[in-house]
């Protein structure tokens, strides 16, 4: 009865251990029917044992219960081998060891077979030794299966944590992309509104000032001239802002093309000859609006200083890229920059240096005979 109770509890624990109800429903049904038969047999055995003297029937029932153990063990082993599941294989190996050694024990009981004939009292001649050794082996395989299951569960939990981490990172990335897309859409909307509303208004002011100047037939009105110049300057600044805000311009190619167009146009009606040297191959790199704005305004400030103070007849702009670095050199054949003249446009130089440093770039001046300004920015 103790053995029957232990097998009963072991079967219940094993069903919970391998999640047989969810994973192996057929095996779970077999084990459940086996437990029901075991309970019924135990009740009948107890009634016969305590209330009758039918010892032959008790012996028959005991053998029948043992055969029930045997049949259930064989069914479990066959089912486990077919499923080819490592956890089931551990348990099947334990059952196989117990069944084989139990059969050996049973044979010794029935036949009196002695493995060590020279020593009748040897432990290897005792039937109980083989049965207990089978129990030890079954327990060992069961503990090995438990260790395997724990290791597998830990791996699964780690994988699940990694999956959740990746899922959260993906959601955060999608969220950031959605925010970025919304920002770009808003930038495009604002730039379109500025172009359509403010651009047309400033253009109208400039046109009206030019019309008024033509009607005056050569008479110079300083205020009208200031209005025209302010409108032109405001229109140029507004075009720069619109170009900066438009997300479709967030490329290195757009930045280089805009710098070249501005330089050529800026010196077009001046005695200064401007040449722009572009790289043979412009890499496909994304440049944010803020970075484009700081680089362009720095170049614009440098060109403005060259126009006002260099007394040059030629300006050469060299644009190159190397190892994720954008390099722009502005060279002129003017009088250069000396310490006494730094005060005249010191704010402009400090502004250029500040703008380049804000985008993790650099700005330096080489001024011996001529003037060379070098701008470097990561891309």
| pLDDT at residue number 196 | 57
Write out pLDDT tens, residues 337-363: 765 555 555 577 888 888 899 888 999
Q: What average pLDDT does this structure show over 16-42?
A: 87
Q: Give the burial class of 106: count Cβ atoms within 10 A of its Cβ; 0-12 exposed, 13-18 middle, 19 or more buried.
A: middle
In this predicted structure, the answer to whether residue 294 has a pLDDT above a threshold of 70 is yes
Give the model's confidence band at 162: pLDDT under 50 very low, under 70 low, under 90 confident, else very high.
Answer: very high
**Residues 303, 266 contacting (CB under 8 angstroms):** yes
| pLDDT at residue number 372 | 86
Cut 0.85: pTM above it = no
Write out pLDDT tens, residues 368-379: 567 888 999 988
| pLDDT at residue number 343 | 55
Q: What average pLDDT does this structure show over 284-293?
A: 85
What the block records as the tokens of 325 is 């670095």
CA distance to 158, 253, 316, 363, per residue, from 278 (Å)? 53, 10, 11, 19
| pLDDT at residue number 164 | 92
The strand pairing partners of 366, in sequence order, are 372
Q: What average pLDDT does this structure show over 234-248?
A: 72
Long-range contacts made by residues 249-254, C-beta under 8 angstroms, separation at least 24?
Answer: 249/289, 249/292, 250/286, 250/287, 250/288, 250/289, 250/292, 251/284, 251/285, 251/286, 251/287, 252/282, 252/283, 252/284, 252/285, 252/286, 252/287, 252/321, 252/326, 252/379, 253/282, 253/284, 254/287, 254/292
Q: Alpha-carbon distance 344 to 308, whole Å?
A: 10
Q: What average pLDDT does this structure show over 109-118?
A: 82
| pLDDT at residue number 369 | 66
Helix (H, G, I), strand (E, B) or coil at 52: coil
- Closest by CA position to 345, among listed 299, 296, 306, 292: 306
Write out pLDDT tens, residues 327-340: 999 988 888 776 55
What the chain holds in terms of domains, given with CATH numbers, is 2-171 (no CATH), 250-258+265-379 (3.30.565.10)
Q: What average pLDDT does this structure show over 143-148?
A: 89
Q: What average pLDDT does this structure show over 203-209?
A: 70
The whole-chain average pLDDT of the chain stands at 83
Q: What average pLDDT does this structure show over 148-172?
A: 90
| pLDDT at residue number 137 | 93
Rounded to 5 degrees, what are φ and ψ at 45? -60, -40
**Residues 22, 29 contacting (CB under 8 angstroms):** no
More confident residue, 78 or 6: 78
| pLDDT at residue number 206 | 66
Q: What average pLDDT does this structure show over 247-273?
A: 85
Strands (E) across 31-175 are located at none
């Amino acid at each position: 009865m103790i053995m029957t109770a232990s097998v009963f509890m072991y079967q219940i624990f094993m069903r919970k251990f391998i999640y047989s109800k969810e994973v192996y429903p057929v095996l779970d049904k077999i084990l459940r029917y086996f437990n029901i038969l075991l309970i019924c047999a135990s009740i009948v055995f107890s009634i016969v044992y305590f209330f009758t003297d039918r010892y032959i029937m008790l012996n028959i029932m005991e053998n029948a219960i043992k055969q029930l153990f045997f049949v259930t063990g064989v069914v479990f082993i066959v089912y486990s081998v077919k499923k080819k599941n490592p956890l089931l294989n551990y348990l099947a190996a334990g059952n196989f060891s117990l069944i084989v050694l139990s059969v050996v024990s049973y044979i010794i009981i029935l036949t009196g077979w002695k493995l060590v004939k020279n020593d009748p009292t040897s432990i290897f001649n005792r039937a109980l030794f083989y049965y207990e050794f089978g129990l030890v082996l079954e327990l060992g395989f069961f503990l090995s299966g438990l260790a395997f299951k724990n290791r597998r569960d830990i791996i699964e939990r780690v994988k699940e944590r990694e999956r959740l981490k990746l899922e959260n990172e993906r959601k955060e990335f999608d969220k950031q992309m959605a925010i970025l897309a919304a920002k770009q859409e808003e930038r495009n909307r604002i730039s379109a509104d500025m172009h359509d509303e403010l651009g047309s208004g400033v253009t109208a002011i400039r046109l009206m000032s030019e019309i008024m100047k033509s009607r005056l037939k050569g008479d110079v009105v300083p205020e009208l001239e200031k209005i025209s110049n302010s409108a032109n300057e405001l229109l140029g600044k507004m075009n720069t802002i619109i170009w900066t805000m438009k997300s479709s311009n967030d490329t290195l190619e757009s930045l280089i093309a805009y710098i070249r167009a501005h330089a050529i146009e800026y010196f077009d009606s001046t005695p200064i000859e401007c040449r722009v040297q572009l790289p043979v191959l412009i890499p496909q790199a994304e440049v944010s609006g803020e970075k484009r704005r700081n680089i362009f305004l720095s170049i614009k400030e440098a060109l403005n200083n060259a126009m006002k103070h260099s007394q040059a007849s030629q300006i050469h702009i060299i644009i190159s890229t190397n190892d994720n670095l954008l390099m722009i050199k502005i060279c002129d054949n003017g009088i250069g920059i000396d310490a006494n003249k730094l005060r005249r446009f010191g704010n402009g130089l400090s502004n250029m240096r500040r703008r380049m440093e804000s985008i993790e770039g650099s700005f330096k001046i080489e001024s011996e005979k001529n003037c060379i300004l070098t701008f470097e920015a990561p891309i």
